[in-house]
C-alpha cells in the first residue's frame, strides 16, 4: 500500500457528511507540514474530531498499512549525529 492508497483508504472510511470531508481536505491542503507532524496525521485527527472516523477504524487502517509495508521500522533507525 503506497501513500496515495493510504489517503484514499482514510477518506473512504469517513462516514460523516460530504461537507465535513471537503472542509477537512481543504484544511489539510492549506496546512504546512513539519516533521513529525504530517498530512496524514492532520487528516486522521480532523476526521476523528468530526466523528466520521472512529479510533478503531484508524487502528484497522494503521494495521493494514503496517502489514503491507513491513520494513517501515528501518526509517526509525537514526545514526549518531554528534559534532
Per-residue pLDDT band at 81 (split at 50, 70, 90)? low
Quote the pLDDT of residue 54: 92
Residue among 4, 13, 80 at smallest CA distance from 51? 13
Count of CB atoms situated within 10 Å of the CB of 60: 13
Quote the pLDDT of residue 21: 84
Domain boundary assignment for the chain: 3-71
Q: How far is CA 29 from CA 2, 56, 57, in A?
A: 19, 25, 22
Indicate the pTM of the whole model. 0.65
pLDDT (tens digit, 9 = 90+) per residue, 28-77?
A: 888 877 766 788 888 999 899 888 899 999 999 989 988 998 887 777 66
Amino acid at each position: 500500500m503506497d501513500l496515495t492508497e493510504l489517503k484514499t483508504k482514510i477518506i473512504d472510511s469517513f462516514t460523516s457528511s460530504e461537507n465535513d470531508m471537503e472542509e477537512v481536505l481543504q484544511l489539510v491542503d492549506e496546512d504546512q507540514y513539519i516533521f513529525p507532524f504530517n498530512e496524514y496525521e492532520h487528516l486522521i485527527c480532523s476526521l476523528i474530531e468530526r466523528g466520521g472516523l472512529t479510533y478503531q477504524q484508524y487502528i484497522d487502517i494503521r494495521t493494514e498499512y503496517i502489514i503491507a509495508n513491513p520494513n517501515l521500522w528501518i526509517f526509525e533507525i537514526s545514526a549518531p549525529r554528534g559534532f
